[in-house]
Structure 1
Amino acid sequence: MRIQLEMCANTRDLGGIITKHGKIKSKKLIRSGKLFYATENDIAILESEYQLKRIIDFRNNHEIKRTPDPIFDYVENIHIPILEEHYLTLANAKEKNIHAPDIEYLKHSIEEMKFDVEAISIKEYPKLLSNPYSKEQYKRFLNVLLNEVHGATLYHCSAGKDRVGVGTVLLLGALGVSKEDIIQDYMNTNIYLQKRINHYIDLCKTAGYDNHYLSQIPSLVGVRLSYIQSIFKTIEEKYPSIEEYLIHELDFDMNKQKQLQKIYCE
């Protein structure tokens, strides 16, 4: 469920999503894009209505330095960078700058991705499941969630769609959410980012860019079904389920998964 904030469009409560063990508790798990632009009202909503107690930041140090999180009262901040500091792929580069009003940069990104953002992204996404560093960081993320806090945990990257998108696939899988519902949550990103997608298209039109560029904006700023399909394909090539992937690749065994379900499901 989307959390209605003034300047954080892609912030949402995972509460209410149906699992094999009931449903996810409300106001416990929040996925988001970066919080740098959060207003005082946004901060107040997260602090008071959601009792925010923990923030997990998936971004690299240079991203955090450029757009740091605002200060929240009585909130633990945990840094779990999903990508190594020097690991700059095109997919990562586009996410880092997705909120910056730099149309020239968007143009450059599209050109670097050879006017096929979707094809490049499909190649990049599975690396988050196979790269040893990224796997270790997602493992840290899940293990941190085993330490329950009396309030909400918010985890975020920059746009809240790529690194957070894959992390949410793993988290929802561990909680027993169906593949169909995991995909639906992922694709909801386009609903919450639609205004931003339209905004960038309008800016590019004003700048005089033709349809070769305009057609790539939704794939760059939003998500595609093919992206999450590439994640499931990577998992299913070796394992029958996300649960089995977690056991064998992240050492997150069934006892831990059951503990996670006990904390976050009702």
Structure 2
Amino acid sequence: MRLSGFEKLSNTRDLGGLHTQDGKVIKYNKLLRSGRLYFASENDIDKLKNEYYLKRIIDFRNENEIARTPDPIIEGVQHITCSILKNHVQTITKEKSISEIDFDYMKHVIELMDFNVEQATIHEYPQLIEDEYSIKQYKKFFEYLLEEVDGSTLYHCSAGKDRVGVGTLLLLGSLGVSKTDIIEDYLKTNYYLSTRLEYYTKKALELHLDTKYLDQFPALCCVKESYIQSIFDVIDAKYGSIEHYLIQCLGLSFQDIKQLKSIYLE
């Protein structure tokens, strides 16, 4: 996998170079996973257009998130909204900066999770592949991917770790990437988001927050193998394999999976 080299997009990376179990490789400049693009610099946008040949953006965020931090309009690039989760209520004042909004929201989430973020996440993660609405949206994601474009497709959520992480699991699984390599890619997010954890930790210390908040930041800002394993556990128990999940729940056909491999592998 190629390192991104972006200025303001900390968790944007090309899936190209990942090997499949049958000896093929994901093509470079075809599939990019990312967090939100709101902070992209002019150089970042230029890199996406001219080095990664970006042609399509698929946004996994909901309407509230998009309104707060909209994607930049990039000439010649198709933008598709494919919200994986329904809108949730935000009670954040508009006067606050984007960083403060995220910080306040994270505190709220920690409280909702009863100060046990890891266990709550393990419990809630499988909803991304079992909730009827989310299933329909991931199905749309694959339908878009089956429409080949002359360049790369970038898909993203907010941080690029949960909705994108699960979507990437399904995508890599459809292409025949091993479970070990899927988990390895998933955990790379911690490297790319390390500055995010540093920011929130520093902010918490400045505000003299109770350590019960501070202790939960790593589980919320980063990803853990236990999170993605909870998805594998459900898929293995109920469907036997990612391919069977895609066929039974998302309605893909064997021909669809063959077509995905034809488009994205070499």
> How would you bin the TM-score normalised by the shorter chain?
over 0.9
- CA shift, 1:85, in A, is 2.7
Partner SS for 1:100: helix
**Matched residue, 2:99:** 100
* Paired residue type of 1:208: H
Structure 1 unmatched runs, 5+: 94-98
In structure 2, the partner of 1:12 is 13
1:70-109 equivalent positions in 2, closer than 5 A = 70-85=72-87, 100-102=99-101, 103-109=103-109
Which AA in structure 2 matches 1:154? L
TM-score by length of 2: 0.93
* Structure 1 segment 45-84 matched on structure 2, within 5 A: 45-84=47-86
Distance 1:136 1:2 in 2: 32
Q: How many residues align?
A: 258
Cα drift, residue 132 of structure 1: 1.0
Q: How does 1:242-253 map to 2 (within 5 A)?
A: 242-253=242-253
Cα offsets for 1:145-183 (capped at 9, x unmatched): 111111110000111011111100000000000000000
Aligned residue number for residue 146 of structure 1: 146
The one-letter code matched in structure 1 to 2:237 is E
List structure 1 segments (4+ residues) > 4 angstroms apart after TM superposition. none
What is residue 27 of structure 1 aligned with on the other side? 29
Counterpart residue identity of residue 175, structure 1 = L
Paired residue for 1:255?
255
State the 1:20 CA deviation: 2.8
The SS at the match of 2:99 is coil
Q: Which amino acid aligns with 1:178?
A: S
Contact 1:32 1:157 in 2 (8 A): yes
SS in 1 for 2:100: coil
Please state whether the residue corresponding to 2:208 is helix, strand or coil.
coil
Q: What is the SS of the residue equivalent to 2:220?
A: helix
CA contact (8 A) 1:2 1:10 kept: no
Q: Distance in 2 between matches of 1:195 and 1:100?
A: 13
What percent of counterpart residues are identical?
A: 54
Normalization by structure 1: what TM-score? 0.93
Distance 1:105 1:243 in 2: 35
Residue number in structure 2 paired with 1:96 = none
Whole-angstrom CA distance in 2 between matches of 1:210 and 1:2 = 37
Mind listing any 5+ residue stretches in structure 2 that lack a counterpart? 93-97
